Amino acid sequence: MKNIKIIILLSLLFVMEVFAENPITPIKNPKSEMEIVVAVAANFKNPMEEIRLAFLKLNPEANIKLIFGASGQLTNQIQNGAPVDIFLSADMDFPLALYKDGYGLHQPKVYAVGVLVLFSQKEIDKLKSISELLLSDNIKFIAIANPKTAPYGKAAVETLQSLGIYEKLKHKFVFGESITQVNQFISTGSADVGFSSFSTLYGNEDTFRYWKQVDSTTYSTIHQGLIIIHTKETKSEEEKITINKLFDFLFSSETKSILLKYGYKIPDK
Amino acid sequence: MMLSFDPIWLTLELAILTTFVLTLITIPISYWLTFSSFRYRFIIEAILNLPLVLPPTVLGFYLLLVFSPNHWFGGWIEKLFHFRIAFSFFGILIGSILFSLPFMLQALQVGFSSIPKTHINTAKVLGKSKLEILFRVILPNCKPAILAGMILTFAHTIGEFGVVLMIGGSIPGKTKVTSIAILEEVEAMNYHSAHIYASVLIVISMIVLLVLFRYKRSVSMVFAEKD
């Protein structure tokens, strides 16, 4: 009986919280001294880990923590007080939204340009066009990241629309919550093909043996934007300096070579 | 912004079917587990209760692997029926049946084992068969336990998330249940729609709990023994 009372009490608390006018007050995270938290879109996981190591070589005293997730999910967490210092999104919309709401220290900046690729476990004929491939009968399921929250999903939908085959393929779509889930659908072979980021290929050549780059004129450029978050907690001078150093490092020539290695394009200017 | 009621219907459909199928298959399983003298019964019990402790995403991921045409099972099904279990309603139904099984099982086993041995022995002496004992003695005496199991299963399936996320593929009208719709709306920052979906779930869960408490005197015994 006790259990049931507790369950009801907790669900009431939950309801009150959900319908409360004001968002939940930011959680005060007791940070250890000097800790920079960087929130990173799932597609940028591997390069960011390498960038972090390269940065630590130059600044061994820095303490940098990375958290990964879908861009929309991370944005949501930041709005609810997650102690994040820098946010690397998979697009520009989420950082812009954060900036408009006053969470950013400055306008978001493009740090990488993503490349869309079609992956499969089945052998795909590279000579065939994407329309031919996708319309064929032996392709039953096409995995796409949720176009509402994942930029690569949005780009895939744009491509299919500009090729004029979106409506015809509608019944074949399966949606992953993020690019990570799309990769999972393809790598388990449950989906026959899927649209993902070119960067997925690096280090996973065995899993994603068959791929075809999508013509970049068929989708609008995937600008991945970053923003420095204006956190509520007061920052020490030391932390501010490290954040700025890391920001500069993300646009350094070292980062650029890592970006190229993982199949990203370097943003102009 | 258009709010679709498909996810809600789908959730209800999934919950009702899961409850129905589980009631049917769990009765013989619990019957056997409660009254069998098989020595290694505990192993079976442990396996069937595994979803209780396993993260749903783990279960979902392995099901996704098994359902894929690359796996012998998924490949065999695809060859035979030209049908892929992953990304289908049938797939998420299998997932939630496996995932909710322990809840039904626990409730039924508590009910079955609370029946006085003398009742069963009397029936045996009178020459009743095992099936007759099940339908004439055990089940009529276990109504509250069965009801509790059904309600728990139903409520549990309504809130089910991880398994469906892994094997569903969020196909509108087919595998996109309410919990997935809520996640997507929250991630897209459409909090208003998320609130609407969430409140529908809360209302349904509340009704289910109200039914449970309406019969609480007879059902509470099942919960009391679970503690």
Residue A154 contacts residue A218 (beta carbons within 8 Å):
no
Distance from CA of A245 to the nearest CA of B (A): 30
Read off the pLDDT of residues B52-87 as tens digits, 9 standing for 90 and up: 898 998 999 999 999 988 899 998 998 899 888 989
- A76–B68 C-beta distance less than 8 A: no
Which residue among B70, B171, B186 sits closest to A189, beta carbon to beta carbon? B70
Would you place residue B103 in the very low, low, confident or very high pLDDT band (cuts 50, 70, 90)?
very high
Supply the pLDDT for residue A176.
92
Q: What percent of chain A has pLDDT over 70?
A: 87
Which residue among A11, A184, A189 sits closest to B69, beta carbon to beta carbon? A189
- What mean pLDDT, rounded, does chain B reach? 87
Nearest CA in chain B to A148: B188
Supply the pLDDT for residue A208.
83
Residue A220 contacts residue A155 (beta carbons within 8 Å):
yes
Residue B45 contacts residue B33 (beta carbons within 8 Å):
yes
- B186–A190 C-beta distance less than 8 A: no
3 state SS for chain A? CHHHHHHHHHHHHHHHHHHCCCCCCCCCCCCCCCCEEEEEEHHHHHHHHHHHHHHHHHCCCCCEEEEEECHHHHHHHHHCCCCCCEEECCCCHHHHHHHHCCCECCCCEEEEEECEEEEECCCCCCCCCHHHHHHCCCCCCEEEECCCCCHHHHHHHHHHHHCCCHHHHHHHEEEECCHHHHHHHHHCCCCCEEEEEHHHHCCCCCCCCEEEECCHHHCCCEEEEEEEECCCCCCCHHHHHHHHHHHHHCCCHHHHHHHHHCCCECCCC
Helix or strand or coil: residue B2?
coil
- B202–A175 C-beta distance less than 8 A: no
Would you place residue A15 in the very low, low, confident or very high pLDDT band (cuts 50, 70, 90)?
low
* Contacts within 8 Å (CB) and 24+ apart, B17-22: B17/B93, B18/B93, B18/B96, B18/B97, B18/B100, B18/B153, B18/B154, B18/B157, B19/B150, B19/B153, B19/B154, B19/B157, B21/B93, B21/B97, B22/B97, B22/B100, B22/B101, B22/B104, B22/B149, B22/B153
Which residue among B170, B189, B205 sits closest to A175, beta carbon to beta carbon? B170
- B87–A184 C-beta distance less than 8 A: no
Phi, psi of A65 (to 5 degrees): -110, 135
ipTM above 0.90, yes or no: no
Task: Please give the Cα distance from A119 to A183 (Å, whole number).
Answer: 9
Q: Is the pLDDT of residue A7 over 70?
A: no
Distance from CA of A57 to the nearest CA of B (A): 35
Q: Is the pLDDT of residue A70 over 50?
A: yes
Residues 56-115 of B with CB under 8 A from A: 61, 64-65, 67-71, 74, 84, 86-87
Query: Structural domains in chain A?
Result: 35-113+222-262 (3.40.190.10), 116-213 (3.40.190.10)
What is the average per-residue pLDDT within A107-123? 92
Q: If you count them, how many residues does chain A have?
A: 269
B49 interface with A at CB cutoff 8 Å? no
This prediction has a pTM of 0.79
Interface A:B, Cβ pairs < 8 A: 86
Would you place residue B134 in the very low, low, confident or very high pLDDT band (cuts 50, 70, 90)?
confident
Q: Cα A48 vs. chain centroid, distance in angstroms? A: 11
Supply the pLDDT for residue A39.
94
Q: A98-102, B1-5, B141-145: lowest mean pLDDT where?
A: B1-5
Task: Please give the Cα distance from A206 to B8 (Å, whole number).
Answer: 40
Q: Give the CA dihedral B216, B219, B220, B223, nearest 10 degrees.
A: -140
Supply the pLDDT for residue A21.
43
Distance from CA of A189 to the nearest CA of B (A): 6
Distance from CA of B86 to the nearest CA of A (A): 6
Q: Is the pLDDT of residue A31 over 50?
A: no
Read off the pLDDT of residues B157-211 as tens digits, 9 standing for 90 and up: 998 888 999 898 888 888 999 999 998 888 877 889 999 999 999 999 899 888 8
Supply the pLDDT for residue B224.
56
- B65–A72 C-beta distance less than 8 A: no
- What mean pLDDT, rounded, does chain A reach? 85
Supply the pLDDT for residue B43.
93
Burial class of residue A137 (count of CB atoms within 10 Å of its CB; 0-12, 13-18, 19+) = exposed
Read off the pLDDT of residues A129-153 as tens digits, 9 standing for 90 and up: 889 989 998 899 999 999 988 889 9
Distance from CA of A176 to the nearest CA of B (A): 6
Would you place residue A27 in the very low, low, confident or very high pLDDT band (cuts 50, 70, 90)?
very low
Phi, psi of B178 (to 5 degrees): -60, -40
- B188–A188 C-beta distance less than 8 A: no
Supply the pLDDT for residue B19.
96
Binding residues of A for molybdate: 71, 179
What is the average per-residue pLDDT within A179-198? 91
Supply the pLDDT for residue B2.
62
Which residue among A2, A72, A184 sits closest to B188, beta carbon to beta carbon? A72
Burial A213-252 (b: 16+ CB within 10 A, else e): ebeeebbebbbbbbbbbebeeeeeeebeebbeebbebbee
Question: Which residue, among A190, A206, A210, would best test binding to B if mutated, counting the most B CBs under 10 Å from its CB?
Answer: A190
Q: Is the pLDDT of residue A10 over 90?
A: no
Supply the pLDDT for residue A22.
45
Residue A150 contacts residue A119 (beta carbons within 8 Å):
no
